[in-house]
Chain A
Amino acid sequence: MSTTRGSAPGAVTEDVSRTTAGLLREEAEQARRTLLKRALTSSPAYMFGVLLVLVIVFSILSPSAFPTTSNARNVVLNASPLLVMAVAMTYVMIAGGFDLSIGSVLVFANVIAAKVMGWMGTDDALTVVVGLLAALAAGGVWGTFNGLCITKLRVPPLITTLGTLGAALGVADLISGGNDVRTVPLTLINLGSAEPLGVSWIVWVALVVLVVGGLVLHMTRFGRHTYVIGSNPEAARRAGINVDRHVLGLYTLSGVAAGLAGMLSLTQFATTTIAGHTTDVISVIEGVALGGTSMFGGSGLMVGTLIGIFIPATLTNGFIIQNVQPFWQQVATGFILIGAVYLDQLKRRSRERA
């Protein structure tokens, strides 16, 4: 258990220790240089370039409509629920998994939260808090179910979450009778239109999730174990990491994130959106993949996910403003995605040749 017990062997020569000292002095400097170089040549850096080009081109093409604060605010607002789910998906994919069920779980949590708040019949802060907890729990239940199927029953993630993709939506339809639920308290609707510091609550929540998600991924042991599991689960197991428990945790997290996204969506639209999330999972996986997270697990950066989510969102917005047929947006994103994953593959191959 102790992390400091092991010590370097005693047989260290003068010569070696001098080298060590020299190398250690350089270490901090080297760390800084290497990090900078790696950052500039990483997938997120390329994709940030792509995003920047898109923003510049659209700004030049329609300077009065595209680069305005209200337009930017709308783009960010509309992408916020996706971003929340993408943060969790980044973890799941770095650990070498997939969660196809998130769109349906969002709808399920959406319906549960609306129903619970409707049953309460009250309209105050407490109603909203209970609704939020209900949404998170509803998402968490499906996430845990996914995790248990994957770790205990050994059903592959793709199949498990494909199953719950159908099941969660089906149960949501059963509960709601297939009708969108509109029992949304005014408190929540007002919360949705409130804009502290000029930005909607919905965006603030997504931002907090992104930042916390990024810090935990890159700074903590939990994050580190996520990478190890995705890179080599057997190595993780032999290193004493409880892989099953960790993976179960990640799918639960993904479910909870979908639940939160469901609550955000309810806040924004004041109604459940039963029919509106069938393609969410595609947008989310697309965003995470565009951001450079490997489809094979083991590598990825949270900042990449942020950039990746905004590439399709910006394309859609810019194309509509340019009055380009919306189908072109799907075509463009598709090709950018293939390009991004090709880049990832190239890097992998050149690394393995080395």
Chain B
Amino acid sequence: MTRRLRMGVPLCALAVAAIAAGCGSSSSSSKASSSSGASSSAGSSGSSGKTYHVVYIPGLTGNPFYSTVACGAKSVAPQMHVKFSVQGAPTFAVNAQTPVVNAVTATHPDAIMISNDDPKGMIPPLLQAQRAGIKIVNIDGDLAEKSVGVTNIQSDNAYGGQLAGQAMGKLIGGKGTVAIIDNDPGFPISEARVAGFMQAMKQYPGVKVLGVQYSHNETSNAASIVSSTAAAHPDFAGVYTVETNNTEGAITGARDAHVVGKLKIVGYDTSDPIVKGIQDGTVSADIVQYPYGEGQVGLQSAVKAIQGQSVPREQTQPFVVATKANVNTANVQRFIYKTSC
């Protein structure tokens, strides 16, 4: 650690400048990058612009939240002289993410921004990366071992869940049956969102909360959970959908069961169909995180760490509760996900 602080940083910066210069944007030119990368360890002097190489590893590929994080980081990359890229696995699981981290580590970027799939399981590969001199920035999911990673940036999921619960309690007037739809069991982030919700619901003893039901991240499953619950419970007043696909499914399910308006949908995270749902009132409230900001802060923190500046170990990002009334305001719009950039 101390050795890297003394002499690792300037050497590293030089090496990175050389690698980035050779790499360009296409993969075919990386032959040049590695030869110059090798020579740089001998101390090639005279490179003026400092370009850093930062890779973001999302929890899984093709997810709007993580795509928005990437967009946020990308938006500040040029001004920070960062060559930014994204690599990920198609499933949200520690054994899928580990090989990606391993391979990214082999390319020796200056920093890895990562949305961890497991707080404990991801320690060994990231420790390996950190030992290789790579700065680790955790985004939306910290590790159990705080010595790995320079910072963690996330929104407080339990708090988000509480906001959802409070919104739900008010919307249904403190009575009726409420269902919860989650993707799959076993994910701490979703569990925190559910726990926060349950916490808030304690203030509404007149509400009957059904057990968590799982959609396996399938919109159609979420839809049928909603329509069958509507059939089984005449006092079905609200549904809390913990991820985007479930909210989208709930919109369909409410339509199928002809309970649009009567059934209050409170969602967590957004997508284009959900924004439309908020605008037309199908979705009563939606907890919107600020992944774009997480991406921006994440990249800025990475560069600071590379340059040897200090970064707070914990950084949080705000929420907004989007409703029909506020969804079109600029304040809420900047929270909405951007999947292409």
Contact = CB atoms under 8 A, between A and B. Distances in A.
- Establish whether A and B are touching in the complex (CB under 8 Å): yes
Interface of A: 60-66, 68, 70-71, 74-75, 78, 81, 173, 176-180, 182, 192-193, 265, 268-271, 273-279, 313, 316-318, 320-324, 326-327, 330
A60 B186 contact: no
A277 B95 contact: yes
Nearest to A270: B120
Contacts, number: 134
B23 to A, nearest CB: 8
Given A178-B186, A317-B99, A324-B27, 13 more contacts: A74-B106, A75-B99, A78-B99, A178-B185, A179-B191, A268-B95, A271-B118, A275-B91, A275-B92, A317-B102, A323-B30, A326-B90, A327-B90
Interface of B: 27-28, 30-31, 33-35, 37-38, 61, 85, 87-96, 98-100, 102-104, 106-108, 117-118, 120-121, 123-125, 128, 184-187, 191, 214
Contacts of B98: 78, 268-269
A327 B60 CA distance: 12
A71 B100 CA distance: 11
B91 A278 contact: yes
A275 B61 contact: no
B27 A322 contact: yes
A60 B117 CA distance: 32
Contacts of A265: 95
Given A65-B108, A71-B103, A276 B93 contact: yes
Contact of A320 (B31, B34, B104, B123): B104
A335 B104 CA distance: 25
Contacts of A173: 185
Contacts of A279: 90-91
Contacts of A61: 27-28, 30-31
- Most A CB atoms within 10 A — which of B106, B125, B128? B106
Contacts of A323: 27, 30, 85, 87, 107
| Secondary structure type dominating chain B contacts | helix
- Most B CB atoms within 10 A — which of A61, A62, A65, A323? A323
A321 B106 contact: yes
Contact of B106 (A71, A182, A270, A324): A71
Contacts of B104: 320-321
A200 to B, nearest CB: 10
Given A61-B31, A323-B27, A326-B90, A66 B214 contact: no
A296 B98 CA distance: 34
A135 to B, nearest CB: 16
B37 A269 contact: no
B185 A64 contact: no
Contacts of B61: 326-327
A275 B93 contact: yes
A65 B106 contact: yes
A74 B99 contact: yes
A275 B106 contact: no
Given A71-B102, A320-B103, A320-B104, A276 B185 contact: no
B120 A275 contact: no
Nearest to B107: A65
A272 to B, nearest CB: 8
Contacts of A327: 61, 90
Closest 7 CB pairs of A and B: A178-B185, A276-B93, A320-B103, A74-B102, A269-B121, A64-B34, A276-B95
B96 A276 contact: yes
A326 B87 contact: yes
22 contacts: A62-B107, A64-B38, A65-B34, A68-B106, A74-B99, A176-B185, A178-B185, A179-B186, A182-B120, A269-B94, A270-B123, A271-B121, A273-B121, A274-B185, A275-B91, A275-B186, A276-B95, A276-B96, A316-B99, A324-B27, A326-B89, A326-B100
Contact of A317 (B34, B38, B94, B103): B103
Nearest to B87: A320
Contacts of A66: 106
Contacts of A269: 94-95, 98, 118, 120-121
B93 A321 contact: no
A231 B34 CA distance: 50
Contact of A273 (B30, B89, B95): B95
- Most A CB atoms within 10 A — which of B85, B121, B128, B185? B121
A118 B213 CA distance: 27
A143 to B, nearest CB: 21
B35 A274 contact: no
Contacts of B186: 176, 178-180, 274-275
A252 B160 CA distance: 47
A101 B66 CA distance: 31
A279 B102 CA distance: 20
B30 A179 contact: no
A61 B106 CA distance: 13
A65 B123 CA distance: 21
B67 to A, nearest CB: 13
Nearest to B212: A178
- Most A CB atoms within 10 A — which of B37, B94, B107, B186? B186
Nearest to B125: A74
B90 A275 contact: no
A78 B97 CA distance: 10
Nearest to B97: A276
Contacts of A65: 34, 106-108
B184 A321 contact: no
Contacts of A324: 27
